[in-house]
Amino acid sequence: MPYDIDAVRDFDPRRFREESPFKIHGGCGLMGICDESGSLMGGEIAIRALAIQHDRGNGLGGGFAGYGIYPEFADHFCFHMMYADTAARQNAEEVLGRFFAVDLAEPMPTRAVKGIDDAPLLWRYFLRPDADKLHAGDESAEDFVVHAVMLINGTVDGAFVASSGKNMGAFKGVGYPEEIAHYYRLEEYSAHTWVGHNRFPTNTPGWWGGAHPFTLLDWSIVHNGEISSYGINSRYLEAFGYKCTLGTDTEVAAYLFDLMLRRHKLPLELACKALASPLWTEIDRMPEDEQALLRSLRAVYGPGMLNGPFAIVLGFNGGMVALNDRIKLRPLVAARTGSVLMVASEESAIRAVMPEPDRVWMPKAGEPTIARVSGMDWPIHGDLHLSPSALSCAVTGTEFSCAEETVEVS
Amino acid sequence: MKQVMDPTVPQVGYLKIEPPVAREGDTATIDAKNIYYRQLNEAVRRAYADGAKKVVLENVNGQRYIGNGITGKDLKIEVRGTAGNDMAMFMNGPTVEVFGNAQDGVSNTMNAGTVIVHGDAGDVLGYGMRGGRVFIKGDVGYRVGIHMKAYEGLVPAMVCGGKARDFFGEYMAGGMLVLLGMNSQFEGPLVGGYLGTGMHGGVIYVRGEVEPWQTGKEVGVFEASAEDMAELKPVLEEYCAAQGMDLAEVLSVPFTKLVPVSHRPYGKLYAYT
């Protein structure tokens, strides 16, 4: 087909859904913002940051996650659900009823938006794990929730869990992010941490459940890039009870963070080094004890390493972290104004929110950029600054024998 | 957060409307605030068609493709704000001066002209650049100057005043690439790894020293000779004039010169002989 610029000008990629006859310029866009003082910011901040990166997506996916948005239900697990039809809702609610006490169930508040006409049924639930079942299973409330999520996503036809954390929620779908935000009435929510995404699907179809962020418990991931190690990552995760059912590579990153941070209690910075491992030649130049640590980390978490180009932002209750692949194959810019840390694919997104930041910089590849809300429990058992022995315990997975050495969060 | 937030940015992104243009003599001033790149760049071309020699773009924030493909030696563009991706791509002659930072992909396959950035520039700066000058005040990202090339009289030169990350001058085929390491926010070494990997033409000058781990195995590393400095000095003079820097200070540290050891480093990569 000859390249006809006038045809491209009126071209709406959404008409073609899974395959486009044109090359459209793009590459996903992402943002994350965290006020480390814990002050809440309205959703319009996240909308502005992504609206200005409109051309990085193609209307096949947009989404957000906010933290601190449900203060009146802060201790409940909030499930944002997507249903293909009423039957799917009934089947999923039956599963939820088996696992949880349902304190509130309601349709997600939405508004009609031009261009968004294929939305699934969207519901949210505020849940408490059933105490009897929890004790019988002898597992943590979080493990209990993970099982419920995997069960619904894996076995209930037409039902998907969009998010399952406390005092947080994901708002995502097929459309440009500013349209999706308008649809979900995002400006009515306030959060201390927002992550957002503008999707340009490359390898997998654009569908509501496949939009970013991908979440599990408190973790939410937005991602620009391709995880070419998806196969080995998902097989590795299956051994720990995670089932990858959403058809998008980014899903593995959310589960890997849950595995390493929550279950293996790895410090955040070390988990980032497992995902974006330093090259062997870089390890060779490190001091000896650091070499030993990173060699064991690569050995233990080899199947968890993310191969391929990526920029990701991980949001959680307590802050966020932004991370690039180790040779920076996707863009990422960071800025700080006072207590607010912001990251985005383009500097313009930062300046659309804060025109004159105190500082703007380009994070180094493979080095996490971290924001931590003061006064909030760090959700990770352990600290960023563990002793070497605690670190090696974490890496070798012997946390029980060295439990007394683990540094508790103050 | 309220006090630092800009509430005037529309929640729908850029607006696809004509920007306001003010004309004074041969200068056209365009307010780019919240204007979509297509309408903005059309306004720039229209200003030149109407006889303007200089275009000032106010309130730029991330608009792409500024100055792309424009031919004309005596034309000027002044960008106030953050220049978007792929600025000065295929540009052929004009001078673009950015008062702010530039995003990724500046001067991609640029043919002729000058790009001056009074700030930092992002990744993939000067990709396949084949003529003209690029003068960056501060830091630059990854893959800067990859596959720069030269042909007869067309010899590009790029000077980066800050530090650079990995793959600086990778697969370089011609021209001159200079790194000063002076105006930097980066911690650590003045350049990352894979410096000049696959290089097979042109020359890289680094103010200071590089260690063996930083360079690709296709380059030879030498102390810059008096002859080399005679070649480098006129470019640095131009750079210092553009960036308001002191040439004596720039020259106060010895330069390292990197040149390829082979014109065809991978000539036998797929030859099973």
Question: For residue B59, what is the nearest residue in chain A, using CA coordinates?
Answer: A355
Query: What's the number of domains chain A is made of?
Result: 2
Question: For residue B11, what is the nearest residue in chain A, using CA coordinates?
Answer: A48
Give the three-class secondary structure for B213. Answer: helix
pLDDT per residue as tens digits for the range B215-245:
988 999 999 999 999 999 999 999 999 999 9
Residue length of chain A: 410
How close is the nearest chain B Cα to the Cα of A326, in Å? Answer: 10
* Cβ-based contacts of B63 with chain A (< 8 Å): 348
Helices A388-396 and A268-275, interaxial angle, to 10°? Answer: 50
In one letter, which amino acid is A226? E
Q: Is CATH 2.30.42.10 correct for B119-260?
A: no
pLDDT per residue as tens digits for the range A373-397:
998 876 554 444 444 455 555 555 4
A248 falls within a domain:
yes
Residues of chain A where predicted confidence (pLDDT) is lower than 70: 1-26, 138, 203-204, 378-410
Q: How far apart are CA B158 and CA A229, in angstroms?
A: 37
Residues A96, A125: one domain? yes
Residues A113, A49: one domain? no
* Cβ-based contacts of B186 with chain A (< 8 Å): 364
Q: How far apart are CA B202 and CA B176, in angstroms?
A: 6
pLDDT per residue as tens digits for the range B200-209:
999 999 999 9
Q: How far apart are CA B150 and CA B161, in angstroms?
A: 22
Q: In this complex, do B166 and A365 lie within 8 Å of one another by their Cβ atoms? A: yes
Residues A337, A349: one domain? yes
A362 falls within a domain:
yes
A173 falls within a domain:
yes
Residues A58, A84: one domain? no
Q: Considering the entire predicted model, what is its pTM?
A: 0.91
Q: Does B139 contact chain A (CB < 8 Å)?
A: yes
The residue from A153, A184, A219 where one domain ends is A153
Q: How far apart are CA A52 and CA A205, in angstroms?
A: 24
Distances (CA, A) of B157 to B78, B131, B137, B144: 21, 7, 14, 12
Q: Does B4 contact chain A (CB < 8 Å)?
A: yes
Overall average pLDDT of the B92-116 stretch: 98
ipTM for the complex? 0.95
Say what the pLDDT of residue A401 is.
40
Residues A64, A173: one domain? yes
Overall average pLDDT of the B32-44 stretch: 98
A28 in active site: yes
Say what the pLDDT of residue B267 is.
78
pLDDT band at B179 (very low <50, low <70, confident <90, very high): very high
Say what the pLDDT of residue A18 is.
42
Q: How far apart are CA A162 and CA A209, in angstroms?
A: 7
Residues A130, A218: one domain? no
In contact, A80 and A124? CB cutoff 8 Å: yes
Residues A257, A310: one domain? yes
Residues A91, A198: one domain? no
**Any bridge partners for residue A172, and if so which?**
A63
Residues A149, A193: one domain? no
pLDDT band at B273 (very low <50, low <70, confident <90, very high): low
Smallest Cβ distance to A44: which of B11, B101, B167? B11
A42 falls within a domain:
yes
pLDDT per residue as tens digits for the range A125-166:
999 998 888 877 767 889 899 999 999 998 999 999 999 999
**For residue A245, how many C-alpha atoms fall within 13 Å in the half-sphere facing its CB?**
20
Residue-averaged pLDDT of chain B: 95
Residues A200, A311: one domain? yes
What CATH number corresponds to the domain at position A286? 3.60.20.10
Helices A141-155 and A86-99, interaxial angle, to 10°? Answer: 160
Q: Which domain holds residue A127?
A: 73-153
A374 falls within a domain:
yes
A316 falls within a domain:
yes
Say what the pLDDT of residue A2 is.
44
H-run or E-run covering A97? helix A86-99
A20 falls within a domain:
no
* Cβ-based contacts of B167 with chain A (< 8 Å): 327
Preceding peptide of A331 cis, ω within 30°:
no
Overall average pLDDT of the B238-267 stretch: 94
Say what the pLDDT of residue B270 is.
76
